[in-house]
């Protein structure tokens, strides 16, 4: 069975059947070995509390990652809005559910072959002091060859960075995806870009680094603003530059 092909078809079906207001472009899927050097060195890259694939699933052999790129309509709505657009806020809520549904679908697909699946929820599983995830879906996507990290501290794929990343772990071997040979971020490629810095409304993002606390306090403001929605600590302005819908 071609598990990744079946998973891709399953994701497309879930999106179509969801009835969500949020629209997406075609999803990307990749795979990494559980002992990839990204994971063996993850604690030094991120923090000591970061989990390894085997912490999620004893006997883990592969990590599957996927990227759900928002439609250009969703991106444009947030670019044009002086505040955070409601479409962007709703997309965040709906995509959280979609990511969990995708993992449940993966459990069903791989389970038919006797393969176990485990995952960490798509958001709000982080160290409250360091504001760093206990499982980084973006690093999983990097290990799985879906793209590279940008100056905006986001993950840039061939479909850009305006979207959401999810991942899960399985106890079977799937051939790893080849990692990209170069950077997707124009700034890291030596270009004069930095649009993400100009778009950041708080000054949390600079060429020298990223102030997580300042950014997070801004995100919480929008959770309060969209109080009729579930937890909506979002902004996304830094994902709306040249790399929003394409990787260079």
227-243 average pLDDT score: 96
Report CA dihedral (4, 100, 18, 27) to the nearest 10 degrees.
-40
Contact in structure between 222 and 89 (CB atoms under 8 Å): yes
CA distance 236 to 154: 10
Task: Write the CA distances from 79 to 121, 210, 242, integer angstroms.
Answer: 28, 21, 12
pTM of the full structure:
0.95
Q: So what's the pLDDT on residue 225?
A: 97
CA 235 to the chain's CA centroid: 15
Q: Give the model confidence (pLDDT) of 68-127 as tens digits.
A: 999 999 999 999 999 999 999 999 999 999 999 999 999 999 999 999 999 998 876 666
Per-residue pLDDT of 164-181, as tens digits, reads 999 999 999 999 999 998
Are residues 240 and 79 in contact, defined by beta-carbon separation less than 8 angstroms?
Answer: yes
């Amino acid at each position: 069975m071609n598990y990744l092909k079946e998973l891709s078809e399953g994701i497309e079906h879930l999106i179509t059947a969801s009835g969500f207001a949020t629209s997406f472009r075609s999803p990307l899927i990749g795979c990494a070995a559980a002992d990839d050097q990204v994971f063996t060195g993850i604690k030094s890259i991120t923090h000591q509390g970061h989990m390894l694939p085997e912490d999620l699933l004893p006997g883990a052999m592969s990590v599957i990652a996927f990227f759900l790129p928002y439609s250009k309509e969703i991106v444009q709505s947030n670019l044009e809005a002086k505040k955070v657009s409601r479409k962007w806020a709703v997309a965040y809520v709906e995509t959280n559910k979609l990511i969990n549904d995708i993992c449940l679908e993966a459990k069903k697909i791989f389970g038919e072959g006797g393969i176990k699946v485990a995952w960490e929820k798509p958001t709000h599983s982080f160290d409250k002091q360091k504001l760093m995830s206990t499982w980084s879906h973006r690093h999983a996507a990097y290990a799985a060859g879906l793209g590279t990290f940008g100056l905006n501290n986001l993950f840039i794929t061939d479909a850009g960075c305006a979207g959401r990343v999810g991942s899960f772990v399985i106890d079977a071997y799937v051939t790893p995806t080849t990692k990209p040979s170069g950077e997707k971020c124009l700034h890291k490629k030596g270009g004069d870009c930095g649009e993400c810095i100009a778009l950041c409304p708080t000054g949390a993002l600079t060429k020298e680094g990223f102030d997580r606390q300042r950014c997070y306090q801004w995100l919480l403001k929008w959770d309060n603003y969209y109080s009729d929605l579930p937890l909506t600590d979002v902004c996304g302005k830094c994902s709306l530059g040249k790399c929003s819908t394409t990787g260079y």
